Chains A and B, each alone.
Chain A
Amino acid sequence: MDRTPVIVGTGLSDYPVAPHLDGVQHHVQATQRALADAGIDKSTLDGYVGVGGSGGMMIDDAVTMAEYLRIDHRYIDGTMTGGSSFEFHVQHLAAAIREGLCDTAIVTYGSDQLSRMGRQLGTGGFQRPGQRVAGPIQYEAPYGNSLVGAYAMHAARHMHEFGTTSEQLAEIAVGVREYAMLNPHAMYRDPMTVDDVVSSRMIADPLHKLDCCAITDGGGAIIMTTAERARDLPQPPVYVLGAAGAQTHWNVSQQVDFTTSAGAKAGPVAFARAGLTPDDVDMLMFYDSFTITCLILLESLGFVPRGEGGPFIAEGHLKRGGRWPLNTDGGGLSSSHPGMRGIFLLIEAARQLRGQAGEAQVPDCQVALCAGSGGWLSCIGVAILGAEHP
C-alpha cells in the first residue's frame, strides 16, 4: 500500500467580495467544491482539519466545523499558528496519512472578514477604550501598534542592516499584481508601477498602502489521501514532498531577530525531507501579507543569501517569466486575503502542479514551495509540493 500523502482535491469559495455568504458558508462551499474536484463522496472522509476564528461572531473552530459538516472522523487537528496554520496542517496530515491515522481528510477554511468586519484588521485596534488587557499583549497594547506596524518594524530593521529600499519591496507588489491581472476574480487588477507603490499613502513607516495585502472574503478546502487511493481519482495527484514548521515568538515584541524568520529553521527541515534544494523549486507561494513578508521568507528559506533579497527582487526574478515566479494567483497583495491566507497558497500551488493555471501557468512546473507566515512573522510553515511521485 503506497501511503505517500497527496492532495487530490481543492475548492475555493466565492471571493473576494461575497456578502451573500457568512464564514461557515465559505467553509461549506469550499468543501462542496473540493469534493466535486476530487470526485469522492463526503462519506469517504475520515479526517477533519481546520482552524477558525477569523470572521467576527461566527464559531468555526475545528470541532464545531467537524460537527457542522458531520464528518465522521478518526483524526482531527485544529492547530492554530495564524495564517500559516494550513502549512502546519499539511505537515501533520502527511504524517497522519503515512501512519494510517486516517486515509482521506479534508482541510477547510472560511472567512467573511470584509463583508462582516470591514477593513479594521490592519489598523483598527482590537480593544475597547480603557479595556483591561491581560497576558503578554499587555506589554504592547498601551502603545497603539497596528498589525501593519508590526511588519513595518521588520522592514525598518532590514533596511537599516542591509540597505533594502522601498522601491525593492515595491517590486514584489508589482510582480504579484501582474499575475492578479490574469485572475478574473482578483480584488485589484489595474496595472501598477513601483512609483504607484512608493507614492501611495504611508500606513506605518516604511510600509505604504500598496505594500499591504487586500482584505477580502473567501474560503478554501483541500482533500488529502494516499497515493494508492489517488490512482482511482480524476485529478493528477499533487505529492507532499516535505513539510516543516517552526516558531520564534508569537507577540511581535518577543521577536528574536527582526530581519529573519523561523523559516531559517523550517526551510532546511522541509528541503531535507524532500531531498531537494531551492534550485529544484519552480515556483513560490509565499504568504504576502505585506511585501516585507515575502522578502524575509525568500532570505530565511535560503533562496538568496541573507541581506541580498532586495537587489535580487529588483532584478525581476520573482515575476512572471523569472527564476521563481511568486504568487501566481495574484497573492494576498492583489487577489484575496480573508483573515488567514495559508490555504490559498496550497490551492494555487496544486493548480500549477496539475498544469491547470491557464495564462498564469509556470512552464513545466514540477516543484512548488508554499511558505505561510502566521502572527507577526511568528510561525512559519513550509510545504514543498510536487507533480511527480517522490
Chain B
Amino acid sequence: MSDVTTPTEEWTKPLPTPDDVNRDYWQAGTEGRLLIQACPHCGHRQFYPRALCTSCAGEPEWLECTGRGTVHTFTIVRQMGMRAFRNELPYVVAMIELDEGPLIMGNVTDCDPESVRIGLPVEVHFINAADDVGVPMWRPVPAR
C-alpha cells in the first residue's frame, strides 16, 4: 500500500473514465495499489489495461505491482496552456520503467525537477482525482 492523497481542491486536470476494462485499475489507485495486466496463458505483462493480451490475444488478469521503478526517460515541461498545469510549471513528465517490466507515464513529484535523471529510482504514490479514480504519481525513493 502506498500513500494516497485526497486533494482539498477540486480536480481540474483531465479526468480518466472508468469503464468495464479499467475500473479495477483506477479503483485500486484509490486504495494505494498499482495494477498492471499479466496473461495467464503466455505470461506477457502489459500496460495500459486492455480486454485482450497484446501478445497472444488471451484474457489478461491483474497483477499488483511493488510500486517501484526507474525513470526511463523524461522531460521538464516549461510551457503549457491549460491552467491546471500552468500553475504547476515547471514539472516533470516521465516514462517510468516498472520493476515488473512495462512502461507507464507519470509525474515525478516531491523533488526539484532539475534533479531528475534517467535511471532515478522512484516509488509510486496516488492522488484521488475522483471517488473511483486514484491517479498514480512518482517520487524519488528516499535515500536510506
Contacts and interface: CB of A to CB of B under 8 A. Distances in A.
Max chain B CB contacts within 10 Å: which of A130, A131, A134, A148?
A130
B139 to A, nearest CB: 14
Contact of B78 (A124, A134, A145, A205): A205
Contacts of A207: 75
A129 B83 contact: yes
Q: Which range contains the number of A residues in contact with the other chain?
A: 35 or more
A204 interface: yes
Given A130-B10, A157-B118, A258-B73, A144 B82 contact: yes
Interface string B1-40: 0000000001111111101001000000000000000000
Contact of B105 (A134, A139, A205): A139
Interface string A125-160: 101011111101011111111101100111011001
Contacts of A129: 12-13, 82-84
Given A125-B82, A144-B107, A203-B78, A149 B15 contact: no
A242 B22 CA distance: 42
A123 interface: yes
Contacts, number: 128
Contact of A133 (B16, B84, B88): B16
B82 A205 contact: no
A15 B123 CA distance: 49
Given A139-B105, A143-B107, A253 B95 contact: yes
A138 B81 contact: no
B109 to A, nearest CB: 10
A120 interface: yes
B122 interface: no
Nearest to A204: B75
Q: Which of A120, A139, A252 has the most CB of B within 10 A?
A: A139
A136 B105 CA distance: 12
A296 to B, nearest CB: 13
A59 interface: no
B93 interface: yes
Nearest to A134: B17
B13 A142 contact: yes
A202 interface: yes
B52 to A, nearest CB: 14
A138 B16 contact: yes
Contacts of B104: 139, 253
A131 B105 contact: no
Contacts of B88: 144
Q: Which residue, A134, A205, A206, A255, has most C-beta atoms of chain B within 10 A?
A: A205
Nearest to B85: A144
B32 to A, nearest CB: 17
Nearest to B127: A142
A133 B17 contact: yes
Interface in B40-86: 47-48, 72-85
A295 to B, nearest CB: 15
A252 to B, nearest CB: 8
Nearest to A136: B48
Given A129-B82, A130-B13, A253-B105, A144 B77 contact: yes
Interface of B: 10-17, 19, 22, 47-48, 72-85, 88, 91, 93-95, 103-107, 118, 129, 135
Given A144-B91, A153-B73, 19 more contacts: A125-B81, A127-B14, A127-B82, A129-B82, A129-B84, A132-B16, A133-B17, A136-B48, A141-B14, A142-B15, A142-B16, A144-B84, A144-B88, A144-B107, A145-B77, A148-B75, A153-B93, A153-B95, A253-B95
8 contacts: A120-B81, A132-B15, A138-B22, A143-B93, A148-B75, A204-B75, A205-B76, A255-B103
Query: What 7 A-B pairs are tightest by C-beta distance, nearest first?
Result: A125-B82, A144-B85, A141-B14, A152-B75, A157-B73, A124-B81, A138-B16
